[in-house]
Structure formats: C-alpha cells, structure tokens
Amino acid sequence: MDYLQRDAYFTGVSYGHFDMERILRVMRPDEDQVVIKESGMHAVEDYIMSRYQMYWQVYFHPVTRSAEVILTKILHRVKELYGQHYPFKVKPTPFTSFFEGKVSLADYIRLDEAVVLYYFQMWTEEDDPILRDLVYRFVNRRLFKYVEFNPNLQMNDWMELYQLFKEVDLDPDYYLVVDSSSDLPYDFYRPGGEEEERLPIHLLMPNNELRELSRQSEIVEAISGKKRTDHKLYYPKDLIEKLADDQPEKEKIKKILYKQDR
C-alpha cells in the first residue's frame, strides 16, 4: 500500500492518499488470511479508490506510457546492438548480464537509476541513429505522440502503417508501438475464472461473521469485476512532419493516424 502514497507524494497528486494507519489498526489474523474489522471498511474503500485513481491518472496516463514505451525501446535497441557486437563508445557493462540472462543479485542491485541515467547520457552521443534518437527523446522529454487505437478492430491500419514506416526509413519496430493498459481494481472470488485470481477482502462483522467487502460496500460493489482496458498507438509525430511533402507515404501515414482523432 505504501507505494501509492509514495508515488502520490513525488508526483504531486492527491489521488493516492488514504488512512493506511487506520487500515493497519483494524487488520486481524483469521486462519490463513488477514481480515478487516467492519469498522474499518471506509478506510479500505478509500484505499481501493485511491489505487483506482492512481492507476488511471498516473501509472496509465498516456504521457507516462509514452515515456515507458521509449524506455523499453531503448533497452531493446541496446540489447539488439550488443547481440550484433556493435562497438559502443561506452560499453554497457552493467546491462550485459541482463542481456545474456545471467543476472545475479549483485547485478540487479548495481543497476540503479543513477547508473541507467549515466549510460543514457553517454548514449546520446552514440553513432547508431535509432539509439541516439530514442535516448535523446527520453532524456529531453521529447516523447511520442499517441492516438486511440483498438488492435482488435484496426489491425489492417496497423499493418499498412508498418509498411509505410519501412518505406520512409522509420523502423516500425521502434517507432510504431501499440501499448495496452488494463486494470481490475477489485474483484470477488471467482473459482475457475480465466482471469488471474484476485483474493477478496473480507470484513470481520461484529458477530464474528466474515463478509466479502463488495457485499457490504456499495462503493466497492460498483467497481467489482469491471476490468478497464485502454489502447494507444504511439509514434514520432515530429519525424513524420519532417518528411518531404512530395513523399506520397507522408500523406498516407497522416491520413491513417489522424483519422483516429476524429
């Protein structure tokens, strides 16, 4: 629970605030689970709603996801170049064990934020144009733009864009990314369900009966079992705009991308 309050503090939002001390005070052990005294139900409601808001207003915010997309592509590019024996100006030594699948605990601890940012600064001067561009975007917050995109309904558009990007020398594996985010804020127990099993929260009633939270809370009942999914297509708008106006691919790309905004 503490990550919500910590992230709310550092991002300056108010969504992640709830009474964690109250929740801890009303927790009670019960056989193989922890239950919540019925008197603490409202504190748990606040926690669940705070989590819901933090995910959709911060963690799944389109701009946050754009930065994550670029970060992922940077590491993919470095790994690909490493596999091709590319002559890095500064060898990515702290990353090699991850690329080779031989990660030790010491390797994991050593690769902290300071190390990653140092290498990102060094990679802004690499000769590989894709790596150099991606790192520059991440460091200087020149993020990808996005449009709403449903991969189940618009796969033909994506395939056409993929080919058009290749024709204008924009590597679609790095510059055309479909990103999907989903969250199930709370669910009651569904035996045999296809979704990843979520353990429910039980309330300890005054008569010592256990009652599942959504059966007692109208707020939690309203969001129980409702999985929300969001799809975005990320792309470098600035590079598309820089294409020559007499390139027929430019207009085709813009027509497909920008129709998603209408």
Are 154 and 171 members of one domain?
yes
Q: Which residues contact 133 (CB under 8 A, 6 or more apart)?
A: none
pLDDT 10s digit of each residue in the chain, 262 long? 788 888 888 888 887 788 889 999 999 998 888 999 999 999 999 988 888 888 888 888 899 999 999 999 999 999 999 999 999 999 999 999 999 999 999 999 999 999 999 999 999 999 999 999 999 999 999 999 999 988 888 889 999 999 999 999 999 999 999 998 877 766 644 444 444 556 788 999 999 999 988 889 888 888 787 777 889 999 999 999 999 999 999 999 999 988 755 4
Query: Would 261 be classed as within a structural domain?
Result: yes
pTM: 0.80
Are 14 and 33 members of one domain?
yes
Are 216 and 257 members of one domain?
no
Domain extent at residue 53: 2-59+185-226
Q: Which residues contact 24 (CB under 8 A, 6 or more apart)?
A: none
Count up the domains in the chain and report the number: 2
Are 10 and 42 members of one domain?
yes
> In this structure, what are the phi and psi dihedrals at residue 119, rounded to the nearest 5 degrees?
-70, -35
Are 158 and 257 members of one domain?
yes
